[in-house]
Amino acid sequence: MAPPSTAPKPGRTLLALFAILVILSGVAVWQGQTTPKLGLDLAGGTTVTLTAKTSSGKNPPAQQMDQAVKIMTQRVNGLGVSDAEVAKQGSNNIVVNVPGEGQSRVVSLIGTTAKLQFRQVFAVADGKPSTGAAPAPSASPSGKAKDDGKKKDDKSPSPSASPSASAKPSASASATPRGRALSGALTAPTPTPSGAAPSPTSPLIPPTGQPLPGQPAPGQQPPPQDYTGVTDQAVIKQYEALDCYTGDRRAPGSNDPSRKFVAACDQDDEGGQIAKYILGPVRVLGENVDGANAMPPNSQQGQASWSVSLDFDGRGARQFGEVTTDAYGAYQQDPNSPRAQVAIVLDGQIVSAPSIREGAITGGTASIDGPPDSFNQRYATDLANVLKYGALPLEFTQSSIDEVSSTLGSDQLTGGLIAGAIGLGLVVLYCMFYYRGLGLVAVSSLIVASAITYLAVVILGEGMGFRLSLPHIIGLIVSIGITADSFIVYFERLRDELRAGRKLRPSVETAWKRARRTILVADAVTFIAALVLYFLAVGGVAGFAFAMGLTTLIDVIVVFFFTKPLVALLSRTRFYGRGHPLSGVDPRKLHRAAQKPSAATAGTSQEA
């Protein structure tokens, strides 16, 4: 009589499992990663504590701290750093753990406030103190300076009030589909192309041999400054006394959007010179930037460096059009006027102050670029990343920064692996001693579970940024006992059937029906506990919960697709089917063990 079509086919189930193993191995090889990625405690890295700073000196609101954690996490993910941890500690601290060596760049970027402002320039001079200079109507370079500039480089265009005849602020200033690009050197105070003589229409860098506005020539008195339109005398005094060559170049109040006028320094120097500015009211805020993307050089548009493309929202596009209209109007009246410039202020420093010489920019799109040697792909990507996710709601200072060595983690890993090997060895010895031949099934199941776990960790490391840390390893070691529990439940159910006098082959299926419910319930409880712990905990505890939940799922797969089918196949062999004494399923031995009274029962019988 042919077996029913619904009869289990353990051979096919095992083939399906091994096919899954082959596919997982192929995915790992295809990803180019065959070993797990290690976390901070195993591979080393950087730990930094950022402390929120408020004007009142009190603890910041919890909502702002949560928003800061969210933005920092987005920045880390945007930089492609995996397994970094950003967690709030206390009421005013945020701890950032970044695995891997050389991560100081990442740490500095995620803690950047990234408050972006667009302000019109009202005055510009060399960054040295100029206290005592008397105000005067104008500070335009003399005609002699212009002539010298043209002798230095014949390619420098002559100044003109017409936009079409004026020099472009940089090599990448070109039209865009929605308007003209706003260009300027991000790391230099001059918006002129690298290697070219500065345009005489720019008040930032004069022709070779000539001083900046506000900087005296050798043997001459400082030229007067024009403060037309600046109504804040305190800012004028601060500007004159400001020294941009010392300190961190962040003038007091330069990052405050509520101030009508501020004094600010250039972010970087060009040729050893640093400019300082008086800036007018904030015209556009970074909150009105819809997106920021790093763009590669475009040789067709004459752009030799990377750039950052900015897209404004509706309000930002309107405001940006207004400020560029005002700057272009100032340029038409006087090409040398500082008010023809629009300063891009990031965290209180000027990253660029280009002149608007080709008309107002009303398309809602702008770009920032600079010299190719400094404005490279990394710089453009970093700047776009911090601007893309918005400004932090608070200012932070680095309270502590520590480089974590992998040596300590390696020692702990070695100890953990030794402990895991001892535990695994004891489980194997117990299974072989108590279950005999069935112990081989348990050992084989543990090997298969280990292989699936290893491949899962490797694939998750490359595909989702999962990094193996000590808490994960602890969770994996604990899972050895969880997996062994599933085998024991099934084996004991099977042996109970044999003790009742049933044959091995039908007992395999009957015991499985009774055992699988217990196995699923036990694994479900463990998985739910791991899930709750993962979402409620942080750091290492969450890592432990993740590893425990992962191995619990793998345990179900192994028991259903390997352990039970393998027992079904072995029950058809002569060694197991006929109940060899070493098989672990000898019915005579199991029956005698069931009939043998315990010591307490024997004593009671003798007394009777």
Model confidence pLDDT, tens digit, residues 281-330:
999 888 888 888 888 887 776 667 788 888 888 888 999 999 999 999 99
Q: Which of 182, 353, 333 is nearest to 279 (CA)?
A: 353
- Both tokens assigned to 270: 């060009």
248: which DSSP letter?
A: T
> Does the predicted TM-score (pTM) go above 0.95?
no
Cα 404 from chain centroid?
A: 18
Query: Alpha-carbon distance 559 to 548, whole Å?
Result: 16
Cα dihedral across residues 29, 34, 40, 46: positive or negative: negative
pLDDT digits (tens, 9 = 90+) for 179-230: 333 333 322 333 333 333 333 333 333 333 444 444 455 555 555 677 888 8
Q: Which of 463, 523, 531 is nearest to 490 (CA)?
A: 523
Query: Alpha-carbon distance 416 to 446, whole Å?
Result: 18
Residue 160: its pLDDT value, please? 31
- Both tokens assigned to 331: 């340029």
CB 120 within 8 A of CB 341: yes
pLDDT digits (tens, 9 = 90+) for 218-242: 555 555 677 888 888 999 999 988 8
307-312, strands of its sheet edge to edge: 289-295, 307-312, 365-369
- Both tokens assigned to 321: 């059009």
* Strand residue runs (E) in 226-273: 262-266
In terms of C-beta density within 10 A (0-12 exposed, 13-18 middle, 19 or more buried), how is residue 1 classed? exposed
Answer with the residue of higher pLDDT: 243 or 73: 243
Quick check: helix, strand or coil at residue 88? strand
In terms of C-beta density within 10 A (0-12 exposed, 13-18 middle, 19 or more buried), how is residue 596 classed? exposed
Domains present along the chain, CATH in parentheses: 15-39+406-596 (1.20.1640.10), 45-111+400-404 (3.30.70.3400), 116-134+161-377 (no CATH)
